[in-house]
Structure 1
Amino acid sequence: MLYLGAALALATTPATDVAMAQERAVPQSRADVQLSYAPVVKSVSPAVVNVYASRVVQQRPRGFPFDDPIFRQFFGNSPLAVPRERVQRALGSGVIVSADGTVVTNVHVIDGATEIKVALADRREFEAEVVIRDERSDIAVLRIKDGEDFPFIELSDSDALEVGDLVLAIGNPYGLGQTVTSGIVSALRRVELRSNDQRVYIQTDAAINQGNSGGALTDMRGRLVGINTAIFSRSGGSDGIGFAVPVNVVRQVIEAAEDGEERVKRPWLGATLQSVTPDIATSLGIERPSGVLVSDLVRGGPAEAAGLRVGDIIVTIADQQIETLEDFGYRFSTRPIGGSVPITFIRDGETQNVALSLVPAPETPARDERLLDGNGPVTGATVLNMSPAVAEELGLETAGSGVIVAKVAEGSVAQRIGLKEGDRIKALNDREIDSTRTLEAVNARRDRIWSLTIQRGDQVLTQSFRS
């Protein structure tokens, strides 16, 4: 289970306002107050599953003499000091979203798993395999191997939700078995800021605890509106602040899995944006700070091709108001690839409209993903060649060139020296790193002293290590 905290708000789509308003009503009598959620739970719970993920981990013997450096120097290859394999098991939840056994859960539930099983509410168990995993949204799609006519949950439209709507959270907290909690939508499009990206969530006060990860957040019609993912907590238990990935984000990952894609492709803007602050609004003569400012453009990118310029302020996308950078990021990234989307912007005080093409970012050069092995300090890091596509996946504003760290293996040399996801490898032992192939070759050398230069954000850091 993840722990987080952040803030933002959401607007609804005009097309659904009237229909949703007609379904909402304040209780008018004692009978209304005594209404039960049981019919909704009965229709939904058969499609909520427990997910059991097993992974093999290496565990070194601990305690004297194994922790003594002299013992390790002389007896490092002793059978007594050889790492032992241990099976580690994780428990989470999942949701069946189609009759063929397609299951949605969180990436962090099945991360590193060598075996995955799902258990249905009727106690049947099946083996499952990973079809696609999207680190950016923390959503993974599994498929039950022995396919049959499974119960499933219909997907809703998370953009139709409003703060105050009733929701149910269903999952397997603490391994107790299937549990249902109720609450309301507390806020929409809360944002968790990470080192290279941001994730957008529905916030709810329905109790969500460890083990609920990957479970269903449903509306009162039994439709899936989100995948329970995280909690904000000081104690580790529910404090009434839970977070779920909106189903409109989840739908992108499901569609990519159905299309046989290896990864989720999102539209590429080809521009750097920033929120309009009060100071920027004053300097531009705008009454209130809203919209996003185009601060840089990628030559030949979709934004430039559409006619946008540096200094333009985008105020709507597909007729939906844009208040902040997070607003635009969510509205744009959840659009399907293909066709175009209408954009309204302000230039020199005048409102203008353009059509922005929805195309994926180009993968040039090829990513050439490599898990590094060898004697150097970056051993255990998974690295990629930078490209607009890689920058888009990792949530980086600009692509640039060179090699970037996509993942750092637990307990690896790279982790021990402090290497992090998103670091750019600039040089290793005075050799400029221009590709993953070059980095792999240098890291395999048997040098006794190593000098590593990385870029982390706006900082360039150099550190030396003994082999």
Structure 2
Amino acid sequence: MVSKFSASVFFTCSLIMLSINSYAALPLAVAGKALPSLAPLVDKVSPAVVNISVSGSQSNQQIFPDLFQFFDKDGQAETPKQPFIGLGSGVIFDSKQGYIITNFHVIENAEEIKVTLKSGHQFDAQVIGQDMHSDIALLQIKTSKKLTQIPLANSNNLRVGDFVIAIGNPFGLGQTVTSGIISALGRSGLNLENLENFIQTDAAINSGNSGGALVNLNGELIGINTAILGPNGGNIGIGFAIPANMVNNLVQQLLQYGEVRRGILGIKGGELTPELAKTFDLESQHGAFIYQVSPYSAAEESGIKAGDVIVSLNGYTIKSFAELRAKIGSLSAGKQISLTLIRDGETLNLTAVLKESSSSKVQAQAIHPSLSGAVLTNTISPDENKGVVVTEVERDSTAERYGLQQGDIIIGINRTRIRNLKELSDLIKTSPEILALNVLRDTRRLYLILNQ
């Protein structure tokens, strides 16, 4: 007698065999035309997607709280460091210069970065710049080999329902391709500290896909895969990518300045809720509601007022305050923007020139490995004290071991005066034989010698 279990297994196997036999009988062409396939598209764009492996060490205060600190021979507290390795993906942005885009969280705290092409060739990568709040980093590899890059799409033209493919390195398996559609646009709320205006897709994205490509059927890059919503890093059909336009704006700043010089409009606001729309007698149910305009800001100078609802930026619809914040945050200081807003039932068109944020900070590791663990920003001091101020120094970091302290102002490299982060970064890139930081500490000047 056959058990129910045996019968069910037999029935399933029969269905599988029937399915296999049916599939084997399928023609390779219909009416003389080849069956549709994404293979030609994948062949075209996949060489531009790379695998990234990182290694390093970092302090772990959760594993080693203050109670378990160790002390060196001079009695100074030391926090043990934990080695780590990580895997991710990247996209070749400029094939001639060897520039590669990835996520900041992929290379964060990395001391060694390896880039592997689809061909299997591997290279050491250098960090050109990074921005934590947008989760973008720019790497560079040096090679005489011909590289492939993916052209950028205008991500403002994306629509929900567009077909996409995702390419990356999930779980370190190697290059993997998945397909799906754009499920939603303008997603935010994953991390309120960051700038978020995500493309949502149901193309399978898993751990290791971070930094990989989201591509349309024209073979254009529409986004950089960066996050998933799912248990234990597994795919449940909800993945997120940073839009290509936002990526391009940030990369151009990293290339020009070595940092993101984020422009600010000077407003505080929130989402336009149905309650607010009813209170202010607004027909629009989407937009960015302005609570407050900062004095002397770009917003005040342009004529924006509290109570206004911004519904368009540079001719493209704005659906939420988070979307406006992210798009403004990816633009550089000095950029002129056009805004459409609703005030007392009337539609107004204004222009504004974004101002530079005085709180722009850069992870010093992006400028030189020996500065790892320090956070730098431009000073707002008088001209004679202008330079790069050290706002933070991580305990037991490389920067601390070289003698850098919080509050130091870097005013020169060797005997050359520097006044800002760009000048510091540009001078270090010239690779002088000796790298001596001229530091102003309180009222004293001193030199700190770094390894090259």
TM-score class, shorter = 0.5 to 0.7
Q: Which amino acid in 1 is paired with 2:222? A: V
Out of 185, 190, 206, the residue aligned to residue 188 of structure 1 is 185
Q: Which amino acid in 1 is paired with 2:182? A: V
Alpha-carbon displacement from aligned partner over 1:178-230 (angstroms, at most 9, x marks no partner): 11111111111211342433422111111111111111111112111111111
Q: 1:369 to 1:108 in 2, by over 3 A?
A: closer
2:198 matches 1:201: yes
C-alpha displacement at 1:147, in angstroms?
5.2
Out of 244, 247, 250, the residue aligned to residue 250 of structure 1 is 247
1:40-439 matched pairs, under 5 angstroms: 40-57=41-58, 87-99=83-95, 100-146=97-143, 148-259=145-256, 261-335=257-331, 337-338=333-334, 340-357=336-353, 359-363=354-358
C-alpha displacement at 1:59, in angstroms?
8.6
Q: 1:308 to 1:114 in 2, by over 3 A?
A: same
Q: Which amino acid in 2 is paired with 1:363? A: S
C-alpha displacement at 1:369, in angstroms?
9.1
Q: 1:407 to 1:156 in 2, by over 3 A?
A: farther
Task: Give the SS at the match of 1:199.
Answer: coil
Question: Take 2:122 and 2:336, find their aligned partners in 1: how far apart are those partners?
Answer: 44
Q: 1:409 to 1:248 in 2, by over 3 A?
A: farther
Question: Take 2:259 and 2:280, find their aligned partners in 1: how far apart are those partners?
Answer: 40
Conserved in 2, the CA contact under 8 Å of 1:267 and 1:360?
yes
Conserved in 1, the CA contact under 8 Å of 2:106 and 2:211?
yes
C-alpha displacement at 1:54, in angstroms?
1.3
C-alpha displacement at 1:276, in angstroms?
2.6
- Report the TM-score, using the length of structure 1 for normalisation: 0.65
- Range that drifts further, 106-115 or 84-93: 84-93
Question: Take 1:351 and 1:118, find their aligned partners in 2: how far apart are those partners?
Answer: 50
- Range that drifts further, 271-280 or 161-170: 271-280
Task: Give the SS at the match of 2:231.
Answer: coil
Task: Give the SS at the match of 1:303.
Answer: helix
Task: Give the SS at the match of 1:146.
Answer: coil
C-alpha displacement at 1:48, in angstroms?
1.0
- Range that drifts further, 276-285 or 241-250: 276-285
Question: Take 2:204 and 2:375, find their aligned partners in 1: how far apart are those partners?
Answer: 37
Question: Take 1:83 and 1:312, find their aligned partners in 2: how far apart are those partners?
Answer: 50
Alpha-carbon displacement from aligned partner over 1:246-297 (angstroms, at most 9, x marks no partner): 11111122211321x1321233111212333222222222234333332212
Identity across the alignment (%)? 39
Q: 1:335 to 1:76 in 2, by over 3 A?
A: closer
Question: Take 1:383 and 1:233, find their aligned partners in 2: how far apart are those partners?
Answer: 35
Conserved in 2, the CA contact under 8 Å of 1:337 and 1:360?
yes
Q: Which amino acid in 2 is paired with 1:360? A: K
C-alpha displacement at 1:326, in angstroms?
2.4
Q: 1:269 to 1:147 in 2, by over 3 A?
A: farther
Alpha-carbon displacement from aligned partner over 1:100-154 (angstroms, at most 9, x marks no partner): 2100111111111111110111111111100010111111000003355311111
Question: Take 2:214 and 2:192, find their aligned partners in 1: how far apart are those partners?
Answer: 27
Question: Take 1:363 and 1:224, find their aligned partners in 2: how far apart are those partners?
Answer: 33
**Paired residue for 1:20?**
none
Q: Which amino acid in 2 is paired with 1:303? A: A
Q: Which amino acid in 1 is paired with 2:49? A: V
Task: Give the SS at the match of 1:258.
Answer: helix
Q: Which amino acid in 2 is paired with 1:248? A: N
**Paired residue for 1:14?**
none
Q: Which amino acid in 1 is paired with 2:303? A: G
Question: Take 1:367 and 1:104, find their aligned partners in 2: how far apart are those partners?
Answer: 20
- Range that drifts further, 157-166 or 286-295: 286-295
Question: Take 1:336 and 1:385, find their aligned partners in 2: how far apart are those partners?
Answer: 15
C-alpha displacement at 1:333, in angstroms?
3.6
Conserved in 1, the CA contact under 8 Å of 2:167 and 2:176?
yes
Alpha-carbon displacement from aligned partner over 1:301-332 (angstroms, at most 9, x marks no partner): 11111122222232333333333212322443
Conserved in 2, the CA contact under 8 Å of 1:217 and 1:244?
yes
C-alpha displacement at 1:367, in angstroms?
6.9
Q: Which amino acid in 2 is paired with 1:55? A: G
Aligned Cα root-mean-square deviation (Å): 3.9
Question: Take 2:223 and 2:363, find their aligned partners in 1: how far apart are those partners?
Answer: 32
Question: Take 1:197 and 1:276, find their aligned partners in 2: how far apart are those partners?
Answer: 20
Question: Take 1:266 and 1:59, find their aligned partners in 2: how far apart are those partners?
Answer: 30
Question: Take 2:154 and 2:193, find their aligned partners in 1: how far apart are those partners?
Answer: 27
Q: Which amino acid in 2 is paired with 1:341? A: I
Task: Give the SS at the match of 2:196.
Answer: strand
C-alpha displacement at 1:382, in angstroms?
5.6
- Report the TM-score, using the length of structure 2 for normalisation: 0.67
Q: Which amino acid in 2 is paired with 1:211? A: G
Q: 1:30 to 1:243 in 2, by over 3 A?
A: farther
Task: Give the SS at the match of 2:260.
Answer: coil
Q: How many residues align structurally?
A: 349
Q: Which amino acid in 2 is paired with 1:179? A: T
C-alpha displacement at 1:83, in angstroms?
7.6
Task: Give the SS at the match of 2:252.
Answer: helix
